[in-house]
């Protein structure tokens, strides 16, 4: 078996999907886990990007159906988490409105992240390292701080935290382990970016979000494809079993091998 075939098998990506069938399957998956965990619903951080919009749409359908079927109150909580003034925060609110989310909160992470960065820099001085926290390092702090706030809300409200992780991120390791890679449930895990766009379109996610350039929002102007040096179209082709340019395949498989620890639980002995 080629490495490409092995990666596709492990990540569970299909060569093509029917969006309506996948929505039904994933909504049922969410409903099952909410009920089996005796949770009161789901929490999704809505960044203003495609992935979180798709998850928000799935979560909303799941909790609406549970409420209707059981007569009990089940909610989807949408959380907006800007760092200071987020230029595209309007896309988060637009997504929530388009999907009919009733329950939303905003938790600005700027003060918390900046305080953590200052404490880290102070600590480094004690070992002779006189410098600021690196830009990628501070980006990871942002991702983990967002998850801390999500879990604080989820714990108080008895909600499961839904993550946005998917196969196109998993193959490259383009996520922060135990940051944006931490959640209770991952309804997009076996989909590539192209397939997520299909599902988001079927869920009536706004066009402004569907056509937006992917960004993890780690710093101003950051774009995923620029950081990776590979387009999501190429990654999707690879994960669907199609032939890609040799240089693309080499880079993707190098990312996959190098980032293996990110996809693994904490090792023990």
By annotation, the residues acting in catalysis are 51, 169
For residues 252 and 41, what is the distance between their CA atoms, to the nearest angstrom? 36
For residues 217 and 6, what is the distance between their CA atoms, to the nearest angstrom? 31
For residues 84 and 79, what is the distance between their CA atoms, to the nearest angstrom? 15
Q: What proportions of the chain, in percent to the nearest 5, are helix, strand and coil? A: 55, 5, 40
Q: Which two tokens stand for residue 127?
A: 């070992």
Backbone angles phi, psi at 75, to 5 degrees: -130, 155
Burial of 116 (0-12, 13-18, 19+ CB in 10 A): middle
DSSP state of 130: -
Q: Are 13 and 252 within 8 A, CB to CB? A: no
Neighbours of 35 (CB within 10 A): 14
């Amino acid at each position: 078996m080629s490495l490409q075939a092995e990666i596709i098998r492990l990540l569970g990506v299909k060569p093509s999907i029917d969006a309506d069938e996948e929505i039904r399957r994933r909504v049922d998956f969410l409903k099952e886990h909410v009920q089996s965990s005796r949770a009161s619903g789901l929490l999704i951080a809505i960044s203003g990007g495609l992935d979180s919009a798709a998850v928000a749409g799935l979560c909303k359908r799941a909790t609406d159906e549970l409420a209707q079927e059981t007569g009990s109150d089940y909610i989807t909580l949408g959380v907006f988490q800007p760092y200071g003034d987020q230029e595209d925060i309007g896309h988060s609110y637009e997504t929530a409105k388009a999907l009919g989310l009733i329950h939303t909160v905003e938790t600005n992470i700027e003060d918390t992240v900046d305080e953590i960065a200052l404490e880290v820099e102070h600590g480094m001085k004690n070992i002779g390292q006189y410098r600021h926290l690196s830009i990628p390092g501070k980006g990871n702090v942002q991702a983990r701080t967002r998850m801390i706030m999500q879990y604080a809300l989820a714990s108080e409200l008895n909600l499961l935290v839904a993550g946005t992780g998917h196969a196109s991120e998993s193959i490259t390791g383009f996520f922060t382990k135990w940051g944006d890679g931490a959640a209770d449930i991952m309804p997009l895990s076996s989909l590539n970016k192209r397939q997520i766009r299909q599902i988001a379109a079927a869920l009536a996610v706004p066009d402004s979000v569907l056509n937006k350039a992917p960004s993890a929002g780690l710093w101003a102007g950051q774009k995923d494809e620029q950081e990776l040096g590979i387009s999501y179209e190429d990654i999707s082709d690879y994960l669907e079993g199609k032939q890609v340019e040799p240089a693309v395949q080499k880079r993707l498989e190098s990312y996959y091998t190098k980032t293996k620890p990110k996809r693994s639980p904490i090792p023990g002995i």
